[in-house]
Amino acid sequence: MLEIKCPYCGLRDEEEFGCGGEAHIARPLADNPISDKDFADYLFYRDNPKGLFLERWRHSAGCRRWFNVARDTVSHQILEVYPMGAKPSTKAGRAAYEASWRRQSPAEAAARNIPQKTRKTSTSKR
Amino acid sequence: MAESNIDRGVRALRDRKKHYSIFSLARQARNYHQGWQQAWRHAEPKAEYDAIIIGGGGHGLATAYYLASVHNMTNIAVIEKGWLGGGNTGRNTTIIRSNYLWDESASIYEHAMKLWEGLAQDLNFNIMFSQRGVLTIAHSEHELKEMSRRVHAIRLNGIDSDILSPEEIKKFVPIMNMDQNIRYPVMGGFLQKRGGTARHDAVAWGYARAADDMGVDIIQNCEVTGLRRQGRRIVGVETTKGLIKSRKVGCVVAGHSSILADMAGIRMPIASRPLQALVSEPIKPILDTVIMSNAVHMYISQSDKGEMVLGAGVDKYNSYAQRGSFPVPEHMLAAAVELFPVLSRLRMLRHWGGIVDTCPDASPIISRTDIDGLYFNCGWGTGGFKATPGSGHVFADLIANDRPNDIAAPYALSRFETGLLIDEHGAAGVAH
Ligand SMILES: Cc1cc2nc3c(=O)[nH]c(=O)nc-3n(C[C@H](O)[C@H](O)[C@H](O)COP(=O)(O)OP(=O)(O)OC[C@H]3O[C@@H](n4cnc5c(N)ncnc54)[C@H](O)[C@@H]3O)c2cc1C
Ligand SMILES: [Zn+2]
């Protein structure tokens, strides 16, 4: 049985939690042209590493809040727990974040580009 | 060179010796069973093959068998990192049925069912296929309604399926608790009479022996560590026994599919999760059919040895450790004991997990990839044992002809782009 340290409630048994799978998947925005193939990356394709995995968990039978967990899928050891919106802070966690294929996926690039695009259109005088 | 009469005679003699029958059993018994031969050779890898199958589970071995027997491709190898059937093939609860909702599923699982029905003869191996029936029970009004819709759809596909009332269930399974005031009251069910079980190890061994007989090299204790490419084409596999060349490679590695895909620089829509099962101490026969409950993720049968075989739902988080989390079997056992009070004092002898390859639509992937000559057969998740012969049969066809047949075509990876999913999740609940 895993013991997971909810950032809001402290150490609790695994049974109180729900697992939301891979963390840090950015949603491509509607006004971004993206192919069906790339959209499938966002919708269906998942990182599934044997080793350190960054995933979302929810304390569903407790405070019901979401957070991130860096967990090893072989030893089940939890390396760190960090809030939604944050990136992992341990060295191994950061390396796993950078190494994920998703950092290169067009779907994620599309999601990242949107703020730049809006910035551009607001400054350019077109 | 043509085979001489003498060669042919020697081969016939050897084949006869290898053939399993009541006579060979009697003959061996006379010699205190000292004369049994190895069922398959311990092959060492050749430098090159016409095709390589990665993964010596049931699906990989069946693929090799049909490549040799149907497509005359005998210069092929099966590469297994551990021992044959040591993956999910040897860890599952062996439920076989073909009562799926969607046409695409009906067509592949029924294809498998037809092959199961003649498999022991085809392989000359007793796979202990037992069509003892599979009864799926409903615990709510809603489930019952959904069930009758499913039964009609299944019947339209020509697959046997009958609704059973609580009274009929009581007669069919006397040990089931039919009290309506329990946590999971049994309100009805549906039965596939042709469903049942088979001995999982025997399926792997039978396919291995029959494939080996046709010249297929079965290489155990050999892990694939890399996939060698030349541009967009596969040219070989790197293994712990060195590089083995081949221009056709089929990956049938279940829970490790994402790892193999990664070696080729491609991805899979798969999450690897533990699925757990337990067996009890052997007892006198009390259950002569298979019972499944989707609502409580419980399924139960009794093995020929007398052990009660119980399976649970899939764990909620990814894992490659072949053990599961404790709350999952606990939840299942609580429901099992309520439904079958006779089990309450039974001791469990063994408990294990297998890493299953779950797919977003709970249907398998049988597909070409962006790499020429590289094929994947995976995503069977919690319920692929029943498909073993059908899966191997259509996958062999895909590899031999480099195009999917009608049964395999809907299972291409492209469905995740087109949206033509085969969503058996809602339909089957758990898909064992
Ligand atoms: C507890 C449990 C209960 C189940 N119950 C049922 C059931 O009742 N009915 C049903 O239909 N299905 C059931 N299933 C699902 C079923 O077991 C699987 O879908 C099916 O057996 C998969 O067969 P396979 O040959 O594809 O995979 P496996 O038997 O897992 O074979 C894959 C093989 O690939 C090998 N491999 C992996 N990586 C490498 C590598 N790098 N190099 C070489 N070899 C490698 C592995 O060692 C393994 O032997 C159950 C599964 C589990 C775990
Ligand atoms: Zn909490």
What is residue B407's predicted lDDT score, i.e. its pLDDT? 98
Neighbours of B256 (CB within 10 A): 25
Task: Answer yes or no: is the C-beta of B60 below 6 A from any ligand 1 atom.
Answer: yes
What is residue A120's predicted lDDT score, i.e. its pLDDT? 46
CB within 8 Å: B321 and A76:
yes
Measured between alpha carbons, how far is A29 from A108 in angstroms, rounded to an integer?
A: 10
Which of A2, A36, A44 minimises the CB distance to B269? A44
Which of B259, B316, B318 minimises the CB distance to A53? B318
Measured between alpha carbons, how far is A117 from B90 in angstroms, rounded to an integer?
A: 54
For chain A, which residues make up each domain, given as ranges? 3-118
- The DSSP secondary-structure symbol of A67 reads E
Measured between alpha carbons, how far is A111 from A108 in angstroms, rounded to an integer?
A: 5
Mark B174-213 as b/e (b = at least 16 C-beta within 10 Å).
Answer: eebbeeeeeebbbbbbbbbebbbbbbbbbbbbbbbbbbbb
Nearest ligand to the CA atom of B52:
1
What is residue B12's predicted lDDT score, i.e. its pLDDT? 53
Tokens of A1: 């049985």
CB within 8 Å: B272 and A15:
no
Mark B322-343 as b/e (b = at least 16 C-beta within 10 Å).
Answer: bebbebbbebbbebbebbbeeb
CB of A51 within 8 A of CB of A64?
no
Neighbours of B162 (CB within 10 A): 14
Which of B259, B321, B327 minimises the CB distance to A1? B327
From chain A, pick out residues whose CB is under 8 angstroms from the CB of B269. 40, 44-46
Confidence of residue B209 (pLDDT cuts 50, 70, 90): very high
CB within 8 Å: A36 and B418:
yes
pLDDT digits 0-9 by tens, B119-155? 999 999 999 999 999 999 999 999 999 999 999 999 9
Instruction: Decide if pLDDT at B188 tops 50.
Output: yes
Distance from CA of B149 to the nearest CA of A (A): 28
Tokens of A23: 């963390």
From chain A, pick out residues whose CB is under 8 angstroms from the CB of B330. none
Nearest ligand to the CA atom of A17:
2
* Average confidence (pLDDT) over B73-92: 97
Measured between alpha carbons, how far is B98 from B155 in angstroms, rounded to an integer?
A: 11
* β-strand pairing of B242-245 with B290-293: unpaired
- The DSSP secondary-structure symbol of B43 reads P
Task: Answer yes or no: is the C-beta of B393 below 6 A from any ligand 1 atom.
Answer: no
pLDDT digits 0-9 by tens, B325-355? 999 999 999 999 999 999 999 999 999 999 9
Instruction: Decide if pLDDT at B63 tops 70.
Output: yes
Name which residue leads in pLDDT, B87 or B37. Answer: B87
What is residue B429's predicted lDDT score, i.e. its pLDDT? 46
Task: Answer yes or no: is the C-beta of B399 below 6 A from any ligand 1 atom.
Answer: no
Q: First CA to last CA across chain A, in angstroms?
A: 59
Taking CA atoms, what residue in B is nearest to A18? Answer: B316
Taking CA atoms, what residue in B is nearest to A105? Answer: B267
Name which residue leads in pLDDT, B366 or A32. Answer: B366
* Residue from B291, B293, B332, B385 to probe ligand 1 pocket by mutation (most atoms less than 8 Å from CB): B385
* Average confidence (pLDDT) over B410-416: 98
What is residue B238's predicted lDDT score, i.e. its pLDDT? 98
Share of chain B above pLDDT 70, in %: 94
Taking CA atoms, what residue in B is nearest to A34? Answer: B417
| CA torsion angle B366 B369 B375 B378 (round to 10) | -40
List C-alpha distances in Å: B209 to A58, A68, B246, B296, B359.
49, 48, 23, 38, 31
Interface check for B320 against chain A (CB to CB < 8 A): the answer is: yes
Which of A18, A49, A50 minimises the CB distance to B316? A18
Distance from CA of A67 to the nearest CA of B (A): 15
pLDDT digits 0-9 by tens, B263-285? 999 999 999 999 999 999 999 99
Nearest to B405 by CA among B94, B204, B107: B107
Strand partners, B276: B353
Tokens of B396: 């062999």
Nearest ligand to the CA atom of A60:
2
Measured between alpha carbons, how far is A102 from A49 in angstroms, rounded to an integer?
A: 12
Nearest to B399 by CA among B49, B72, B55, B51: B51
CB of B317 within 8 A of CB of B111?
no
List C-alpha distances in Å: B46 to B51, B75, B120, B399, B408.
12, 10, 30, 20, 30
ipTM: 0.91
Q: Is A121 exposed, middle or buried (0-12, 13-18, 19+ CB in 10 A)?
A: exposed
For residue B387, give the ligand 1 atom closest to its CA: 11
DSSP letters spanning B252-292: --GGGHHHHHHHTT---S-EEEEEEEEEEEE-S----SEEE
CB within 8 Å: B417 and A45:
no
Which SS3 state, helix, strand or coil, does residue B130 take? strand
Task: Answer yes or no: is the C-beta of B56 below 6 A from any ligand 1 atom.
Answer: yes
For B217, phi and psi rounded to 5 degrees?
-85, 125
CB within 8 Å: B320 and A50:
yes
What is residue B18's predicted lDDT score, i.e. its pLDDT? 79
Block residue for tokens 């709350």:
B327
Segment holding B172, helix H or strand E: helix B166-172
Distance from CA of A92 to the nearest CA of B (A): 18
pLDDT digits 0-9 by tens, A62-110? 999 999 999 999 999 999 999 999 999 999 999 999 999 999 888 887 7
What is residue A121's predicted lDDT score, i.e. its pLDDT? 45
Cα angle B59-B236-B248, degrees, rounded to a multiple of 5:
50
Residue-averaged pLDDT of chain B: 94
Instruction: Decide if pLDDT at A116 tops 90.
Output: no
* Ligand 1: centre distance to CA A48 (Å): 17
Taking CA atoms, what residue in B is nearest to A38? Answer: B417
A36, A50, A71, best to mutate vs chain B, most B CBs in 10 Å: A50
pLDDT digits 0-9 by tens, B357-407? 999 999 999 999 999 999 999 999 999 999 999 999 999 999 999 999 999
The domain A3-118: what is its CATH number?
3.30.2270.10
What is residue B9's predicted lDDT score, i.e. its pLDDT? 53
Nearest to B82 by CA among B230, B303, B255: B255
Nearest ligand to the CA atom of B261:
1
What are the residues whose beta carbons fall under 8 Å from the beta carbon of B316, sequence distance 6 or more? A18, A19, B273, B325
Measured between alpha carbons, how far is B126 from B134 in angstroms, rounded to an integer?
A: 21
* Ligand 2: centre distance to CA B323 (Å): 26
CB within 8 Å: B321 and A43:
no
Confidence of residue A34 (pLDDT cuts 50, 70, 90): confident
CB of B88 within 8 A of CB of B314?
no
Cα angle B91-B93-B94, degrees, rounded to a multiple of 5:
100
CA B417 to chain centre: 27
For A66, phi and psi rounded to 5 degrees?
-85, 150
Interface check for B316 against chain A (CB to CB < 8 A): the answer is: yes
From chain A, pick out residues whose CB is under 8 angstroms from the CB of B417. 36-37, 39-40
Considering the entire predicted model, what is its pTM?
Answer: 0.94
Task: Answer yes or no: is the C-beta of B200 below 6 A from any ligand 1 atom.
Answer: no
Confidence of residue B17 (pLDDT cuts 50, 70, 90): low
Block residue for tokens 């599309």:
A110
Confidence of residue B162 (pLDDT cuts 50, 70, 90): very high
